[in-house]
Amino acid sequence: MTRPQAQTAARANILFAFGVAVTLVLCWYGRDVLLLLYASALFAVVFTPVVRGVQQIRIRGWSPGYVLSIAIIMVGILSLLALFCVFAVPPVLRDLQQAAREAPLRAPEIAARIHRLPFLRDQTNLDLQGKLQAMATTSAGFLISSLPNAAHILGRFFIGIVLTIYFMIEGPDVYAWTLSLVPLNKRVRLDAALQRAEVRMGKWLLAQGSLMLILGVCSFAVFAALHLRYYSVLALLMGLFNIIPVVGAMITVGLALVVAALDGWGKVVGVLVFYGIYAQVENGFLVPKIMKSSVDLAGLAVIVALVIGGTYAGILGAILAVPSAVLVSVLMDEYLVHHDRHGVPE
């Protein structure tokens, strides 16, 4: 290599390294946007099998097209959300307003109940009534201060829905363009691997939906037997929030315990016993069985994915953890794992 060629190659390497560094910095500062784009694209892939299922509907020889199937799914989801807001939210809000008005009057009664607990029976020096009133004031202030953040999250949620719809509509074109960046001799192999990942990621949605349905039905039966207030709403929330690993259960069980505490400690114990038993059954039997048979991931891989996703991206990362692990697993199996001539990993 001549001296001018060496100088040109050195400049090219420096510019390339500088470009990579600038790209990494921009990605770091725009990580929230990139995470939203990744989540939208991932959900588009996950919902694609559902769209294809809707396309299989036949009504006198007519079947919906791809775009119409997406519209049917979105209208169905929004309709269910609207029904929930119309029929379930108003009674809860009315009772919450009444409870807020009665809170100063019921504080002595709640303090007396707490004093009767065995581990607090001798703690006579606790000003429970004052602490309860201070807690109520602090909670109200926290709710008011959280409204802007809640509005921001809600706005990002709707932006994510719009992006997911666009990814589903224009997904085939984007996918074909992305594959065109790969050399032709490697494109077929990558396409086959991504197609396998898409099938398994679609099965994750079915598996997660099964877990949500099981928890919702069990919660409905137990809460109804306990005569818990709003048992249907609480059961629905238990099922829906089950899509968020760990955190979703903590939120909904906390709500159920608060509602149960309004009527007595017996119902609180009933809720705790129910969820304690169900958590053992779900984690020890349902999740390994359903996830293993659906997405073909080991239980340890699921746990590690949830820990990593929750640590780096919070609730959204925990939701995306399992389908992302499926994608990584397929690509690692294709490009890193060495197979024998029968296709068995060595």
How large is the average pLDDT for residues 54-80?
Answer: 85
Residue with the two structure tokens 């926290």: 142
pLDDT level of residue 50 (50, 70, 90 thresholds): confident
165 and 78 in a common domain: yes
205 and 169 in a common domain: no
How large is the average pLDDT for residues 194-201?
Answer: 85
Q: Which residue from 106, 53, 336, 92 is spatially nearest to 231, judged by alpha carbons?
A: 92
What pLDDT score was predicted for residue 124?
47
pLDDT level of residue 125 (50, 70, 90 thresholds): very low
Three-class SS state of 345: strand
Q: Answer yes or no: is 191 within a domain.
A: no
Phi, psi of 7 (to 5 degrees): -65, -40
Rounded Cα distance, 267 and 270, in Å: 5
Q: Which of 67-81, 104-118, 180-194 has the lowest mean pLDDT?
A: 104-118
Single pTM value for the model: 0.69
Q: Which residue from 240, 233, 204 is spatially nearest to 322, judged by alpha carbons?
A: 204
Q: Answer yes or no: is 8 within a domain.
A: no
Rounded Cα distance, 218 and 214, in Å: 6
What pLDDT score was predicted for residue 342?
53
pLDDT for residue 84 is more than 70: yes
Rounded Cα distance, 160 and 152, in Å: 12
Q: Which residue from 46, 41, 39, 37 is spatially nearest to 209, judged by alpha carbons?
A: 46
220 and 170 in a common domain: no
Pair of tokens at residue 187: 């494109």
From 146, 181, 216, give the residue that closes a domain. Answer: 181
Q: Answer yes or no: is 23 within a domain.
A: no
Q: What is the DSSP string of 26-41?
A: HHHHTHHHHHHHHHHH
170 and 49 in a common domain: yes
Q: Answer yes or no: is 231 within a domain.
A: yes
Rounded Cα distance, 344 and 330, in Å: 14
How large is the average pLDDT for residues 42-68?
Answer: 84
* Domain with 279 in it: 200-346
Rounded Cα distance, 66 and 189, in Å: 27
204 and 177 in a common domain: no
From 148, 181, 214, give the residue that closes a domain. Answer: 181
pLDDT level of residue 116 (50, 70, 90 thresholds): low
209 and 173 in a common domain: no
H/E element holding 273?
Answer: helix 265-281
297 and 165 in a common domain: no
Q: Answer yes or no: is 153 within a domain.
A: yes
151 and 122 in a common domain: yes
* 206-252: pLDDT as tens digits: 888 888 888 889 998 998 898 888 788 888 888 888 887 767 777 88
> Which carries the bigger pLDDT value, residue 1 or residue 168?
168
Q: Count the neighbouring beta carbons within 10 Å of the beta carbon of residue 326.
A: 28
Pair of tokens at residue 268: 């609180």
Q: Count the neighbouring beta carbons within 10 Å of the beta carbon of residue 265.
A: 13
Rounded Cα distance, 76 and 115, in Å: 49
Rounded Cα distance, 302 and 238, in Å: 21
Rounded Cα distance, 299 and 327, in Å: 16
From 114, 146, 181, give the residue that closes a domain. Answer: 181
279 and 222 in a common domain: yes
222 and 139 in a common domain: no
* 240-284: pLDDT as tens digits: 888 877 677 778 888 888 888 777 778 888 888 998 898 888 877
How large is the average pLDDT for residues 292-306?
Answer: 76
pLDDT level of residue 312 (50, 70, 90 thresholds): confident
pLDDT level of residue 137 (50, 70, 90 thresholds): low
What pLDDT score was predicted for residue 134?
57
Type of residue found at 43: F
Q: Answer yes or no: is 41 within a domain.
A: yes
Q: Answer yes or no: is 168 within a domain.
A: yes
* 142-190: pLDDT as tens digits: 445 555 666 667 777 788 888 888 888 887 888 888 888 888 888 888 8
152 and 234 in a common domain: no
> Which carries the bigger pLDDT value, residue 225 or residue 310?
225
Q: Answer yes or no: is 26 within a domain.
A: no
Pair of tokens at residue 280: 């053992």
Do residues 171 and 67 touch, judged by C-beta distance below 8 A?
Answer: no
Q: What is the DSSP string of 132-189?
A: HHHHHHHHHHHHHHHHHHHHHHHHHHHHHHHHHHHHHHHHHHHHHHHHHTS-HHHHHH
How large is the average pLDDT for residues 306-330?
Answer: 82
Tally the domains of the chain: 2
Rounded Cα distance, 148 and 123, in Å: 40
248 and 159 in a common domain: no
